[in-house]
């Protein structure tokens, strides 16, 4: 989990944890209001691992988590128990809030993009991942008036946080990543079918093609077709003004972007919108819940000679 995710949960807990105590002295009855907001707070703390509601022996936390009402009606003993618990939680939340906001100063905006890098085992992997992201985004983002700026390399994880300047770039990246994700799943399906054919005792031309050749040809074909569709979607007005040469060059840039994004996704990378993105923007990006996809180390996907060196073309791209 990224520190920026932890920060978000702590801030939500800080904003919501304000239980209101009151009493009726005539019948020794006590009340706690705003329980639903308290529940939001403890669930956020549970989400980041600070509390463990399900594994806790504390019945009070379980009661809050299960509550569907906004008020607890308690006797004196119960009231004291909750006061003790809430005093501890209140102190902890204030301390956490002060610590995380001083330690992680980055704030997300609507133009923030969160990139989960593939597994990084060495400098070759790190260079390959950075080069792939550069080739995927740097030539297409300016097309919609944006630019890529690195905001943060999240502490203790493989998350790169960038800002692309304009919301149009955020929306286009969502379309590119979703399209790349669809192409990747299609390519993996084609490869599985190919392996089935290879396993059969058939003398056919297709068995002479290698898996690598099949993947490359399928990705190139699909990326070019989808790039033309994305060009019509995101650059309809520009297409009316530009020459056919300019349009073809833009389609080529979009195709390259898709191919590089497929490499990143195949290596286990992910791209997400800002934590404060609208639901409409979130829906443009793929869901990465499917952990069954086979992953290939990023270094192997971005080199030709697999000997620990980035080839000359890649070194030029990385400058």
Residue 93 banded pLDDT, cuts 50, 70, 90: very high
C-beta atoms surrounding 94 within 10 Å? 12
Q: What is the pLDDT of residues 223-276, one digit of tens each?
A: 999 999 999 999 999 999 999 999 999 999 999 999 999 999 988 899 999 988
Here the tokens at position 298 are 């990023």
The reply to whether 295 and 193 lie within a common domain is yes
The reply to whether 129 and 251 lie within a common domain is yes
Write down which residue in 41, 76, 103 finishes a domain: 103
- Residue 227's contacts (CB-CB under 8 Å, 6 or more residues apart) are 251, 252, 254, 255, 257, 258
Could you give the number of structural domains in the chain?
A: 2
Residue 312 banded pLDDT, cuts 50, 70, 90: very low
Q: What does the alpha-carbon distance between residue 163 and residue 267 come to, in Å, rounded to a whole number?
A: 23
Residue 120 burial by Cβ neighbours in a 10 Å radius (0-12, 13-18, 19+): middle
What range defines the domain where residue 222 resides? Answer: 112-318
The reply to whether 44 and 96 lie within a common domain is yes
The reply to whether 97 and 126 lie within a common domain is no
The reply to whether 99 and 117 lie within a common domain is no
Which range has the worst mean pLDDT, 107-111, 199-203, 274-278, 306-310? Answer: 306-310
The reply to whether 57 and 179 lie within a common domain is no
The reply to whether 253 and 152 lie within a common domain is yes
**For residue 192, pLDDT beyond 90:** no
Question: Cα torsion at 66, 68, 72, 75 (round to 10°)?
Answer: -50
Nearest to 308 by CA among 127, 132, 177: 127
The reply to whether 307 and 172 lie within a common domain is yes
Identify any residues that bridge with 161 across adjacent strands, giving them in sequence order. Answer: 114, 152
The reply to whether 125 and 259 lie within a common domain is yes
Cβ contact 231:258 at 8 Å = no
The reply to whether 84 and 118 lie within a common domain is no
The reply to whether 191 and 77 lie within a common domain is no
The reply to whether 228 and 197 lie within a common domain is yes
Write down which residue in 63, 86, 103 finishes a domain: 103
Write down which residue in 103, 124, 155 finishes a domain: 103
């Amino acid at each position: 989990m990224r520190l920026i995710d932890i920060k978000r949960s702590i801030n939500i807990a800080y904003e919501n944890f304000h239980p209101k105590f009151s009493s009726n002295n005539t019948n020794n009855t006590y009340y706690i209001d705003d329980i639903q907001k308290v529940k939001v707070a403890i669930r956020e703390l549970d989400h980041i691992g600070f509390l463990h509601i399900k594994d806790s022996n504390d019945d009070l936390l379980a009661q809050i988590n299960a509550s569907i009402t906004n008020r607890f009606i308690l006797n004196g003993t119960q009231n004291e128990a909750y006061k003790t618990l809430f005093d501890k939680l209140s102190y902890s939340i204030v301390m956490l809030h002060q610590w995380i906001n001083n330690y992680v100063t980055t704030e997300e905006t609507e133009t923030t993009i969160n990139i989960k890098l593939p597994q990084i085992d060495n400098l070759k992997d790190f260079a390959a991942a950075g080069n792939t992201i550069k080739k995927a985004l740097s030539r297409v983002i300016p097309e919609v008036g944006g630019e890529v700026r690195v905001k943060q390399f999240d502490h203790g994880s493989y998350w790169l946080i960038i800002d692309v300047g304009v919301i149009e770039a955020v929306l286009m990246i969502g379309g590119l990543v979703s399209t790349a994700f669809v192409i990747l799943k299609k390519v993996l399906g084609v490869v599985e079918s190919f392996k089935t054919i290879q396993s059969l005792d058939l003398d056919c031309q297709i068995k002479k093609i290698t898996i690598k050749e099949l993947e490359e040809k399928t990705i190139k074909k699909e990326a070019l077709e989808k790039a033309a569709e994305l060009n019509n979607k995101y650059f309809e007005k520009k297409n009316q003004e530009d020459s056919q040469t300019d349009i073809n060059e833009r389609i080529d840039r979009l195709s390259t972007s898709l191919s590089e994004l497929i490499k990143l996704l195949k290596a286990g990378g992910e791209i997400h919108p800002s934590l404060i993105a609208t639901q409409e923007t979130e829906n443009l990006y793929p869901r990465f819940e499917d952990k069954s996809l086979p992953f290939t180390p990023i270094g192997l996907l971005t080199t030709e000679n697999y000997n620990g060196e980035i080839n000359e073309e890649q070194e030029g791209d990385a400058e």
